[in-house]
Amino acid sequence: MTNHPGNTPPLILTIAGFDPSCGAGIAADLKTFAAHNCYGLAAVTALTVQNTQGVRSTHLTPAATLRAQLECLLEDSSISAVKIGMLGNRANAAVVAEFLDRGHFACVVLDPVARAQSGGADLIDAAGMRFIADELLRRATVVTPNIAEAELLTGLKIHDLEGMKEAAKRLVGQGAPAVVVKGGHMDKAIDVFYDGQELQTFGGERVKSENTHGSGCTFASAIAAQLALGKQLPDAVMLAKAYVVKAIEKSYAIGKGPGPLNHFFRFQLEPAPRGTHTPPQHSLHPAAEPSSH
């Protein structure tokens, strides 16, 4: 039996919820890691019921089961970076804090997910959000709230770029080593980066596309991948933003609501045509196998 650790790419763990439409959450994270040539591991905090039109319900993983998933992975694998998304409630957030303390990870990207862009059920309870503010911010390498999440974490009301800068400073004051306040929901998609020293803005015209479901998950995961590949903040943030913009530009609809990003735009310039599938003529495809029974 062979095992080739020399060939292993960086392993990145996502701790997040599952979205069956695979635009956001764990599926978006794993696609992003794969697109960056990294291997993704995943611990599931919640099963959501949703399609592109919104979240209908959430079903949280029991805290003991989340803890068991995390311990099981930690025993076996050397994890280069951790990305944290939907946590669901305080109990699961507390399990994650415990896990971060045990794992001593070099890179932890915390996306403090509160609600889906399409609305619907809350993705964390109020006590969980308070726990993120009090306990998880300081355990992260970088935190990536959108405007609504930055408001919940700081208590500020954010109306403009100045408000975003104030929130970024406040979050660093509250213990986050570095922050990106995402302005994707403002007129101009400007993000504010602050690490306690330099306040920087990453500009951008808004991409003309409805297909932005999972862009927050993808952004945080792309930062985790860039950090795992050895990039420093804020270069990792800049590269992640460029990746998200391109993946939105190359996106397509899969349902009636906002579609997912095209995570693999680098590999596949045009989507495959639908309805004209020809089985490949090699022995690995079941349709090409001679029937033996």
**Least separation in angstroms between CB 82 and ligand PXL:** 15
For ligand PXL, the closer CB: 24 or 137: 24
CA-CA distance, 61 to 45, in Å (whole number)? Answer: 5
CA-CA distance, 238 to 222, in Å (whole number)? Answer: 10
For ligand PXL, the closer CB: 14 or 141: 14
Quick check: 116 binds ligand PXL (CB under 6 A)? yes
| Amino acid at site 56 | R
Other Cβ atoms less than 10 A from the Cβ of 77: the count is: 13
Structure tokens at 178: 């570095």
Non-local (6+) Cβ contacts of 19 within 8 A are 25, 26, 27, 28, 48, 50, 214
Options 182-190, 193-201, 213-221, 240-248: segment touching ligand PXL (CB under 6 A): 213-221
* Secondary structure letter of residue 5 according to DSSP: G
Options 1-9, 19-27, 182-190, 254-262: segment touching ligand PXL (CB under 6 A): 19-27
Quick check: 147 binds ligand PXL (CB under 6 A)? no
**Least separation in angstroms between CB 113 and ligand PXL:** 4
**Least separation in angstroms between CB 70 and ligand PXL:** 17
Quick check: 16 binds ligand PXL (CB under 6 A)? yes
**Least separation in angstroms between CB 104 and ligand PXL:** 26
For ligand PXL, the closer CB: 167 or 217: 217
| Amino acid at site 145 | P
CA-CA distance, 238 to 195, in Å (whole number)? Answer: 14
Closest CA to 39 of 12, 70, 77: 12
Quick check: 55 binds ligand PXL (CB under 6 A)? yes
Instruction: Give the SS3 label for residue 66.
Output: helix
**Least separation in angstroms between CB 14 and ligand PXL:** 10
Quick check: 113 binds ligand PXL (CB under 6 A)? yes
Quick check: 145 binds ligand PXL (CB under 6 A)? no
Quick check: 192 binds ligand PXL (CB under 6 A)? no
With CB under 6 A as the contact rule, the residue among 25, 128, 163, 257 that binds ligand PXL is: 25
Options 15-23, 36-44, 101-109, 273-281: segment touching ligand PXL (CB under 6 A): 15-23
Interaction pattern, residues 71-90, with ligand PXL; x per rule: CB under 6 A = --------------xx----
Residue carrying the six token digits 């292993």: 8
φ, ψ for residue 14, nearest 5 deg = -100, 135
CA-CA distance, 231 to 224, in Å (whole number)? Answer: 10
Beta strands in the chain (DSSP E): 11-18, 39-51, 54-60, 81-84, 107-110, 142-143, 179-181, 191-194, 199-202
**Which stretches of the chain bind ligand PXL, using CB under 6 A?**
16-17, 19, 24-25, 48, 50, 55, 85-86, 113, 116, 123, 214, 216-217
